[in-house]
A and B are shown apart, each in its own frame.
Chain A
Amino acid sequence: MAIRVDLDVMLARRKMKLNDLAEAVGITPQNLSILKTGKARAIRFSTLDAICRVLECTPGDILVHVPDGCAGLPYQ
C-alpha cells in the first residue's frame, strides 16, 4: 500500500492511548487498530475528521504517501 499511517506517532506526541482515541472518535479500538497497523483499505472522511479534531492535527500528519518500494523506510 502506498499510504503509510503514522497514527502511533501522533498518539505518542499527544500522549494519548489508542483506546482513549477510539472512544473520543466514536469507533471501536479494533477498527482503530486496523488503521494503526496499516491494514485498513479505506478511511471515511468523517472518521479522518474526527481523528484530526481529537489529535489536533492535519490529515497530512497522519497519512503519508510513500512511493512503492519505500514502505519500510522510517518516518522522517
Chain B
Amino acid sequence: MTPAFHPEGRLRRIARVSAITRVLLALGALLAVTSWTAPMLVEARVLEFTIGPLRITWDIWSKWPSLHAALAEIGWSPSAFLVMPRVLVFLAVAIQVVQMFGLYQQGLIFTFRHVLYLHRIGLLLILWGVILLGFPALIRVLAGWFAEGYQGYWFSADWDALFYFVAGLGVTVMAWVMQEGLKLRHEQELTV
C-alpha cells in the first residue's frame, strides 16, 4: 500500500475523500431543496422534521413575518417569491462545488477549471447577498405596481446577507490568487 506521504498516496486519499464529499454534498443539497420547496406545495409556514426520537421544527418565515403577511395580503405566493431565488442560487452553488470535487476525484487538484468554479461560487454568493439585501425593496416596488396603494415592507437588514456577500468576496479573491498561482506554475513548467 502506498504511504499517505507519497504523492500518489496523497492524491488517492484526496480522490477517496472527495468521492464521499460529493455524495454527501449532493444528498445535502437534495434535502435542503426539498425542505425549502415543500412548503410551496402546501403554503406552510412551519416545517417539521421527525428523525427517530428527534423532532426539528423550523419556522421558515421567522425572519420575515411581516413580509410573509404582506405578500399573502396582496394575493401573492410568499413561498414562491422568497424560496425560489434561494433554491436557484443554492442549486447553482452546489453544482459548482460538486463539479469541483469531481475534479479532485479524478486526481486534478490545481487547474484553471478549479479557478473557474471558485470564481462562479464567489459571484453567486455575492449575488445571493445582494438579493437578500434588496429583495424586500424589490417586493415593495413590484407590489406598488400591481397592488395600488401598497405601503408594505421596505428594507430588511439581514445579517445572513452580509455574511454571504463577504463570503462571496473572499471566495472571489481566493479564485484570483489561485489564478496567479497557476500562471506562476505554467511559467515554471516552461522553464527548462
Chain A positions within 8 Å of B, measured between CB atoms, are: 27, 31-32, 34-35, 39-44, 47
A-B contact count (CB 8 A): 22
Identify the interface centre among B190, B191, B192: most chain A CB within 10 Å of its CB.
B192
**In the complex, what residues of A have CB within 8 A of residue B192's CB?**
27, 31-32, 34-35, 40, 42-44, 47
- Using a CB–CB distance below 8 Å, which chain B residues touch chain A? 187, 190-192
* A42 and B186 alpha carbons, distance in the complex (Å): 11
Q: Which 10 residue pairs are nearest across A and B when measured between Cβ atoms?
A: A41-B190, A42-B191, A35-B192, A43-B192, A40-B192, A31-B192, A47-B192, A40-B190, A41-B187, A34-B192
Cα–Cα, bound, A26→B141 (Å): 71
Q: Inside 8 A of A43's CB, which chain B residues have their CB?
A: 191-192
Cβ of B180 to closest chain A Cβ, rounded Å: 16
The CA-CA distance from A47 to B192 in the complex, in Å, is 7
What's the nearest-Cβ distance from chain A to residue B15, in Å?
26
CA–CA, A35 to B187, complex, Å?
13
